[in-house]
């Protein structure tokens, strides 16, 4: 959904000496999100990363291999963000209030999310049939499944505690994920990153109303 593993920020510093590999991945991630996989040539990546073909092929067997590594890294970061939000809201005693706090966690970070990227790598990858067939779709489904389970567990706890009946918890959990992806599309198409915060705010209020809890 959004990246956190970036060698040029305080969030991540590789410990295995593979700084060049991370530079290549960072450069490729930005280019693929901005321009698409097909329009991103190996030369574009090498120039942006400030490295050579020899260095590239030391780490990646092909451009397709790079795409798989890129997707795998993005998925890992995405699941890490999910776990961080779950941990950050673990102390909220009321299960329904925790659902609201979970969404608010990302809403409060919406500007940070959009400052690092203009869209989501998942969209760029899934529009390329070659990449989907090469297994990247399976990697992305790993993230989707993790988000579905994490959010569905929150919703189930909230419904049980409040004596509520939620018709399809998994579908509602997926809607949270879909809201992120739809907000990325709105931000990209309009050129305004403000849509991410706005859409997460709408989602927070809708969930609060459905669960009968304050939206704050």
15 pLDDT above the threshold of 90: no
Q: What is the pLDDT of residues 26-83, one digit of tens each?
A: 999 999 999 999 999 999 999 999 999 999 999 999 999 999 999 999 999 999 999 9
Q: What is the pLDDT of residues 60-76, one digit of tens each?
A: 999 999 999 999 999 99
17 pLDDT above the threshold of 60: no
Question: In 3D, which of 92, 66, 83, 65 has the Cα closest to residue 1?
Answer: 83
Q: Percentage of the chain surpassing pLDDT 70?
A: 92
Residue 167: exposure state from Cβ atoms within 10 A (0-12, 13-18, ≥19): exposed
Average pLDDT over residues 132-154: 93
HSE-up of residue 48 (Cα within 13 Å, Cβ side): 18
Q: State the CB neighbour count (10 A cutoff) for residue 120.
A: 24
CATH class of this structure's domain 71-211:
mainly alpha
14 pLDDT above the threshold of 70: no
Instruction: Kindly report the pTM of this predicted structure.
Output: 0.88
Average pLDDT of the chain to the nearest whole number: 90
**pLDDT at residue 2, rounded to an integer:** 56
19 pLDDT above the threshold of 90: no
Average pLDDT over residues 135-148: 94
For residues 63 and 128, is the Cβ–Cβ distance under 8 A?
A: no
201 pLDDT above the threshold of 90: yes
CA 62 to chain centre: 25
Angle at 9 between CA 183 and CA 72, to 5 degrees: 60
Q: What is the pLDDT of residues 163-198, one digit of tens each?
A: 998 989 999 999 999 999 999 999 999 999 999 999
**pLDDT at residue 10, rounded to an integer:** 36
């Amino acid at each position: 959904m959004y990246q956190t593993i970036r060698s040029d920020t305080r969030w991540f510093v590789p410990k295995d000496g593979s700084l060049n590999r991370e530079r290549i991945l960072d450069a490729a991630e930005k280019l693929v999100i901005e321009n698409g996989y097909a329009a991103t040539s190996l030369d574009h990546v090498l120039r942006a990363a400030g490295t050579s073909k020899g260095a590239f092929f030391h780490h990646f067997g092909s451009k397709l291999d790079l795409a798989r590594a890129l997707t795998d890294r993005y998925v890992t970061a995405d699941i890490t963000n999910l776990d961080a939000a779950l941990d950050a809201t673990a102390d909220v005693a009321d299960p329904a209030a925790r659902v609201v706090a979970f969404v608010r966690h990302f809403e409060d970070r919406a500007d940070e999310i959009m400052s690092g990227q203009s869209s989501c790598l998942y969209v760029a990858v899934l529009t390329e049939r070659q990449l989907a067939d090469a297994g990247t779709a399976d990697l992305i489904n790993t993230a989707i499944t993790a988000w579905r389970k994490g959010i569905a567990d929150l919703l189930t706890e909230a419904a049980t505690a409040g004596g509520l009946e939620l018709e399809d918890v998994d579908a509602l959990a997926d809607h949270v994920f879909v809201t992120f992806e739809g907000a990325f599309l709105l931000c990209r198409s309009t050129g305004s990153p403000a849509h991410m915060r706005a859409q997460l705010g709408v989602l927070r209020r809708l969930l609060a109303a459905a669960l009968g809890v304050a939206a704050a």
